[in-house]
Amino acid sequence: MSAMASVLRYRPPQARSEATAFLGLLIFLGSWTMMFAALFTVYGVLRARAETWPPPDLPRLPLLLPAANTAELFASGISLQWALRAARRGRASVVCPAATAGLLLGALFLAGQVALWTSLWRAGLRPDGGPFASVFYGLTAFHALHVLVGLGGLGWVAVHAAREGFGPARHLGLRLWTGYWHFVGAVWLLLYLAVFVF
Residue 51's contacts (CB-CB under 8 Å, 6 or more residues apart) are none
Question: What is the tally of structural domains in the chain?
Answer: 1
* Predicted confidence (pLDDT) at residue 133 exceeds the cutoff of 80: yes
Asked if residue 21 is part of any domain, the answer here is no
Q: Supply the CATH number for residue 94's domain.
A: 1.20.120.80
Supply the mean pLDDT for the chain: 90
Where in the sequence is the domain holding 153, given as residue range(s)?
A: 36-52+60-197
Nearest-angstrom CA–CA distance, 195 and 44: 10
178 Cβ neighbours under 8 A, 6+ residues apart = 77, 80, 81, 83, 84
Per the confidence metrics, is the pTM higher than 0.85?
A: yes
In a domain, residue 136? The reply is yes
Give the torsion sign (CA, 174, 30, 44, 142).
negative
72 within domain boundaries: yes
Over residues 140-189, the pLDDT tens digits come to: 999 999 999 999 999 999 999 999 889 888 898 999 999 999 999 999 99
Q: Is residue 93 part of a domain?
A: yes
| Cβ atoms of residues 183 and 32 within 8 Å | yes
> pLDDT tens digits for 95-107?
999 999 999 999 9
Considering only CA atoms, which of 155, 149, 148, 153 is closest in space to residue 177?
A: 153
